[in-house]
Amino acid sequence: MNVDQYFSRIKYSGSPKRDFATLSEIHYQHLLHIPYENVDVQLGRPLDFDIQSIFKKLVTNHRGGWCYEMNGLLGWALEQVGFEVTRMSGAVNRASLGDEQLGNHLVLKVILDRAYIVDVGLGDGLRHPIPLIEGSYDQSFLRYRLELRPDGYWRFHNHPFSNVDSFDFKDEIADEELLMDKCIWLQSSEDSLFKRFLIAQKFTPSSITVQIGKIFSVVTKDGKQTEIIESPERMNSHMFETFGVSEDFHSLWPKIEVAHENLVNAENQKVDALDSPSVRGGTTRERSTPP
């Protein structure tokens, strides 16, 4: 493990210093060159917090990873440079699903002139670190918001194009046992979205590319465009060309198709609910086609 290998992987060519400019550039370069993806979870390959395994996967083998790996690797690299890094327990969708979400996300804090939130593990979240201060933050065409809740949790509100609305965290050292328990659950339980859906996301300078099952989306300042990946052969080439993931998706294809059908059915049910007489005031019209 060598931090210069990591810098080569993310194509960072600066002279690292313990300052915000270095922190922000490393954060951004990581997002541009290492994708967020859960292919190993889909294939049933066990994952943990071992930094040597994470380094080998993401740096040596040029793969991507999920939050525990992405932020785990970034936190290690920042410490090699001399940054003071704190791992914190996050909770994606705690706003809607409650405290059972605690530990399903790893968040980093870095102390410089002030505390900064550092997070390359949400997939389509922050482009650059933000101060741990309430307010709105514009980065390129994306707007984020950070608020301190009455219960002592901070809530990060993601940009409006994201599939993740928010996550909560407390400004305290992570409960590593809680993080590991949730890491195991997310890759083993059939109720886990990571078990149910193939997910891959990656930033470009002008967009975010997102794969959820068969649905591929590109988010730009003009909005979101989507297409359906219709075959395992196309998925093989697409995942390599777009996310740098070289795997054979034939074995996963039946699972991907079932997940897609369930997703479409759920969207149809939403449309049916919106078209109910109680919603449309007793008028009649044809049901619209779901997106």
Whether 119 sits among the annotated catalytic residues: the reply is: yes
Whether 67 sits among the annotated catalytic residues: the reply is: yes
d(C-alpha 266, C-alpha 271), whole Å: 9
Selecting among 67, 168, 238, 260, the annotated active-site residue is 67
Contact in structure between 162 and 125 (CB atoms under 8 Å): yes
Helices marked H in the chain: 3-10, 20-33, 39-42, 51-55, 67-81, 94-97, 176-188, 193-196, 232-243, 253-274, 277-280
Selecting among 27, 30, 33, 105, the annotated active-site residue is 105
**How many other C-beta atoms are found inside a 10 Å radius of the C-beta of residue 165?**
15
Helices marked H in 98-220: 176-188, 193-196
Selecting among 119, 159, 183, 238, the annotated active-site residue is 119
Contact in structure between 121 and 66 (CB atoms under 8 Å): yes
Active-site positions read 67, 105, 119
